[in-house]
Structure 1
Amino acid sequence: MFVDSHCHLDKIDPDKIGLTLQQVVDNARAQQVEKILCVNVTLEDFPQMRDTVAEFEDVSISCGLHPLYVGDNKTPLDQMHAHLTELASEPRVVAIGETGLDYFYDPDSKAIQQQSFATHIDVAVELNKPLIIHTRDAREDTLALLNNGHAERCGGVLHCFTETLEMAERAIDELGFYISISGIASFRNAEALRDVVKALPLERLLIETDSPWLAPVPHRGKQNQPAYVTDVAKCVADTKGISLEEVAKVTTQNFYNLFKGCV
């Protein structure tokens, strides 16, 4: 059995993919995907996202504000702690995020991103729910904020990982975090990322689709969906020279070890 540890079911366009959301979930089930984690990106969209996937018992949800949306956030920063705590306290919410830092696409909002990220870390520790981290071109600040906020107390994952082996190893060693691999690892020009996958212990890896984006080989050019997480698993298996069954078994157990609210 497989798990898609990170996707955005509410962002999948039924017209573009030619499937209803029910069919998307059924496709995943047909590929032995037993659990899907639908990840929130704005607090304003959280109620709609929650309601969109409410009928699916095998879909869990997170709550958070993506760093690239901090500029559009309607909740004042001094009220975010209370608002995020209220939303994330719902029993079905198993994680805090997507949060983090992105200096690649939006370097001008560094200060606001850092304030938002620190708030998410505080809430995650208080609620004892793991963090889902987006990080790009912000390695030192990401790790510093996580360490300063004692994120090791709640745990978390660096999702859709594309950074260095050193950063991955520090996140694992200093914080006990997991590293999540997406379809990017299957891209022809992703040799450096595959070297990271090869070097990291399987016991610290998760797999994800980040649907509807980043469809893995052989689905490049299509809108991504959770069923394709099996192709990500195959890429990990081929890269590490192990069986697909072992990748499925270990990454699924890793998921439940981290996201205890899904058990």
Structure 2
Amino acid sequence: MKMIDAHIHLDHYKDKEIQVLMDEAGLIDALVSVSFDLESCKRNLQLASEFEKVRPAFGFHPEQPLPIVEEQERLFQWMEKHRTEMIAIGEVGLPYYRKADRKISAKEYTEYIALLEIFIQRAKEWKKPIVLHAVYEEAPIVCNLLEKYSWNRAHFHWFKGDQKTIARMIENGYFISVTPDVVYEAEIQQLVSIYPLEQLMVETDGPWPFEGPFAGRITHPNMMEESIRVIAKIKGLSVGEVSEKLRENTVSFYQI
């Protein structure tokens, strides 16, 4: 079983943890390491130079205060300079959890949307996939922007949403990826039962911790083995068939 981790924050692990993960990554062909901000982008680029399996994505995670204009300009200038070295733009999106916690005003929320729109424009201009943090009611807003720019190389990681949005995303050809919580979360299992295997990938979102059989363990790409077994069971297919298709999807989407 060969696997690709379609979404991990490798730069958020400690140096010793990264080395252990890479030493134990015999089943892993590649890891798409997404970025949090400019410093995170630089760190992921460094990791990609140290480890052949690391494929960096550059962006700004929305679940944090917005960067000021000058910081945004520095980020986009740096991304422009290093765009041939990135596999995708990401992680970008909208601040669902900050909004739910009432940490942002309505005006600030429109600024998050404006920043995301620039990232989508750049994705199309640079012909790069875009890795999206957009769940529940945020997802339709992101779909509107993707449709506005006719860009469908979109990967909604750890997605959660309503049936109407799911159908829209499938129709538009967007990909989703599921984390190890598919092993024990009914909501994610239901999503997998609906979403076409041809538009699925697997991820860890590490170092985010998981529960169930993974409780108390550091998040490791090898956990995706269990994810794949559950996906195979849901789809009524062999583990080998599903494993190969998920890998094929990720290779094709990210042009690895």
Q: Structure 1 length as normaliser, TM-score?
A: 0.86
| More off after superposition, 246-255 vs 158-167 | 158-167
Structure 2 residue 175 is the aligned partner of structure 1 residue 178: yes
Structure 2 residue 36 is the aligned partner of structure 1 residue 38: no
Question: Residues 42-86 of structure 1: CA distance to partner in whole angstroms, max 9, x if unpaired?
Answer: 1232112221342111111100011113x2525537736842642
Q: 2:227 aligns with which of 222, 232, 240?
A: 232
Q: What SS does the corresponding residue of 1:44 show, helix, strand or coil?
A: helix
Gaps in structure 2 of 5+ consecutive residues:
none
Partner of 2:18: 21
CA offset at residue 40 of structure 1? 0.8
Partner of 1:198: 193
Q: What SS does the corresponding residue of 2:94 show, helix, strand or coil?
A: strand
Cα separation, 1, equivalents of 2:213 and 2:72: 45
Contact kept in structure 1, 2:66 and 2:112, CA below 8 Å:
no
Contact kept in structure 1, 2:4 and 2:28, CA below 8 Å:
yes
Partner of 1:141: 141
Q: What SS does the corresponding residue of 1:45 show, helix, strand or coil?
A: helix
Letter in 2 for 1:110: Y
Contact kept in structure 2, 1:96 and 1:130, CA below 8 Å:
yes
Q: Structure 2 length as normaliser, TM-score?
A: 0.88
Structure 2 residue 67 is the aligned partner of structure 1 residue 73: yes
- Which 4+ stretches in 1 moved above 6 angstroms? none
| More off after superposition, 200-209 vs 226-235 | 226-235
Letter in 1 for 2:142: T
Distance 1:2 1:82, change over 3 A: closer
Question: Residues 229-248 of structure 1: CA distance to partner in whole angstroms, max 9, x if unpaired?
Answer: 21221221222222211121
Distance 1:8 1:242, change over 3 A: same
Cα separation, 1, equivalents of 2:223 and 2:85: 24
Question: Residues 205-249 of structure 1: CA distance to partner in whole angstroms, max 9, x if unpaired?
Answer: 000000111436421232212221212212212222222111210
Cα separation, 2, equivalents of 1:226 and 1:75: 36
Cα separation, 2, equivalents of 1:60 and 1:215: 23
Gaps in structure 1 of 5+ consecutive residues:
none
Contact kept in structure 2, 1:84 and 1:123, CA below 8 Å:
no
Number of aligned residue pairs: 248
Structure 2 residue 127 is the aligned partner of structure 1 residue 132: no
Contact kept in structure 1, 2:89 and 2:130, CA below 8 Å:
yes
Contact kept in structure 2, 1:202 and 1:250, CA below 8 Å:
yes
CA offset at residue 201 of structure 1? 1.3
Cα separation, 2, equivalents of 1:81 and 1:22: 28
CA offset at residue 161 of structure 1? 1.5
CA offset at residue 251 of structure 1? 0.6
Distance 1:43 1:172, change over 3 A: farther
Question: Residues 114-163 of structure 1: CA distance to partner in whole angstroms, max 9, x if unpaired?
Answer: 011101100000010100000123122121111112222xx021101122
Letter in 1 for 2:97: F
Letter in 1 for 2:42: P
Partner of 1:166: 164
Cα separation, 1, equivalents of 2:164 and 2:45: 36
Distance 1:240 1:234, change over 3 A: same
Structure 2 residue 207 is the aligned partner of structure 1 residue 212: yes
RMSD (Å) for aligned C-alpha atoms = 2.1
